[in-house]
Amino acid sequence: MFRLLVVLAVGVLCFASEVRSAPMLAPTPETAKDPADVEYEAGLQAKAAKRYAVAAASFRRAVDARPRFPAAWNELGFALRQTGKYDEALQAYDQALKLQPNFPEAMEYLGEAYVKLGRLDDARAILARLKPLDAGRAAELDQAIRAGR
């Protein structure tokens, strides 16, 4: 029994010294986080906390790091709309839809921005495009249009 304990103790000590002396590995391209993804995640956290100006800044850095990132463009539009920057929001939604033409969330948000701006005909045109793609989002936009009258 004593011999078994000694063997175990020596094994643990050897393992511990190997772990402490093991070099830290640099992140590989497969494990390194893309800066655009890091900023996008930070933006989503700020959005959830309703810190829209902070979210907009993060989403802007995400699209600067990766210009072909439709989800980040869409979220940038949302954050800008929440801060009252409608013209910039429209541009962000347009960019999201250029990159991903049938992006239901971007369509809904664009339509809601049009409602806020009193552009109900533009909102209805978006609604017509959205209906066959996503009935739930279309219902949300339709409700916003009806309330915006």
Please write the tens of the pLDDT for every residue from 99-119.
Answer: 999 999 999 999 999 999 999
Q: Indicate whether 73 belongs to any domain.
A: yes
Please report whether residue 2 resides in a domain: no
Full-model pTM: 0.78
The answer to whether residue 92 is domain-embedded is no
Kindly indicate the confidence band of residue 87, based on its pLDDT and cuts at 50, 70 and 90: very high
Residue 96 domain-assigned (yes or no) = no
Is 144 domain-assigned? yes
Separation CA 44–CA 5 (nearest Å): 52
Confidence category of residue 148, pLDDT binned at 50, 70, 90: confident
Same domain flag for 50 and 77 = yes
Q: In whole angstroms, how far apart are CA 133 and each of 15, 88, 128? A: 57, 25, 10
**Residue located via tokens 């936009």:** 141
- Same structural domain for residues 82 and 39? yes
50, 78: one domain: yes
Considering the domain boundaries, does residue 25 fall inside one? no
Q: Does residue 136 fall inside a structural domain?
A: yes
Is residue 49, in this structure, part of any structural domain at all?
yes
* Same structural domain, 106 and 80: no
Per-residue confidence band for 35, with pLDDT thresholds at 50, 70 and 90: very high
Q: What is the pLDDT of residues 119-146, one digit of tens each?
A: 999 999 999 999 999 999 999 999 999 9
Split into its structural domains, the chain has a count of 2
Query: Domain limits at 49?
Result: 35-86
- Cβ 88 vs Cβ 99: under 8 Å: no
